[in-house]
Chains A and B, each alone.
Chain A
């Protein structure tokens, strides 16, 4: 059953209400922003090494995160194009891919 989405009338959220936010998209963007902030802090505290991993490419930590995001987007698009199964399965597969790429990519 489709859910009706209301408008927030208060504070910062009201100022951003023209962007037609939904809870899932807000969660996604906040997660990406938090990940970027975490990567920045990690880079300042413990600078990552450039390395060649599973991908066969010379990558930094940021490169691997970008590749993870891009491959996640591609995976979800292919999933939506190929199957009617719930998209959560693709999300779970992507989380596994994210860990693999960040750790061994």
Chain B
């Protein structure tokens, strides 16, 4: 058998991806950094201001409030969707046509465009004509997501849970399906009950898919924009104005390109830092 030589030619295979990432992510990001250091109206009318926009953004009460709201929202999303997704995955049929049918059924919300999800829930939760809103009104519950900040939060959270729990469920289902039957047989021989099987057999084997699920949901919920924008428009007041919505109002609404760029860089750094800290903690625990 001829000896195989190791070469660096494989790097050329990576080149297209590097170029695509450079043009679609790195260069735009560098442009945003450039904008964030200037008071800029167009390329001919710009003034270097250093870190002034960063200082201003970091001391902006509306930014800090949106940041707190965003953190609370992401935390609530993870706390609700992870256990619920695992529960749904555990309840799904393991094989046969029922399994295929249920998988297609629970995947449906993932196929619906984000603005359509917002519209669906905007109608669904209306107290006058919406199924949920009218049902609650019929039960005597004073529910109005356009007037009450608490109701608006509940509706936005329910909408996100409806839209994205399927993703966690599908990932958990794939993780559960990959566990060999021998593990269950061994647990049964040891007299393990359903809770012990879940705690000591299934949960450890689900670790990698759950890490992916947590990271995806954390990043995605931290960048949520379209659904609350369509559903509540950030209101009532600023009750559901999250970071991306405030950023958009700054960049597109007020055309403050410099401050919006500084905001974007801070937003990006925050997500990068959170994901890195989380990933490092989880991987360190996995190695130990």
**Chain A residues within 8 Å of B, Cβ to Cβ:** 2-5, 7, 17-22, 24-25, 28-29, 56-58, 70, 73-74, 76-77, 80-81, 84, 87
Contact = CB atoms under 8 A, between A and B. Distances in A.
A5 B276 contact: no
A3 B54 CA distance: 18
A17 B276 contact: no
B107 to A, nearest CB: 35
Interface residues of B, number: 30
Contacts of B50: 24, 87
B59 A25 contact: no
Given A24-B37, A77-B269, 5 more contacts: A20-B43, A24-B48, A70-B272, A76-B51, A84-B55
A56 to B, nearest CB: 8
B34 A20 contact: yes
A20 B31 CA distance: 7
B35 A20 contact: yes
B116 interface: no
Contacts, number: 71
Contacts of B284: 56-57
Overall SS of chain B's interface: helix
Interface of B: 27, 30-31, 33-35, 37-40, 43-44, 46-51, 54-55, 58-59, 266, 269, 272-273, 276, 280, 284, 287
Contacts of B47: 2-5
B222 to A, nearest CB: 16
B162 to A, nearest CB: 35
A29 B33 CA distance: 10
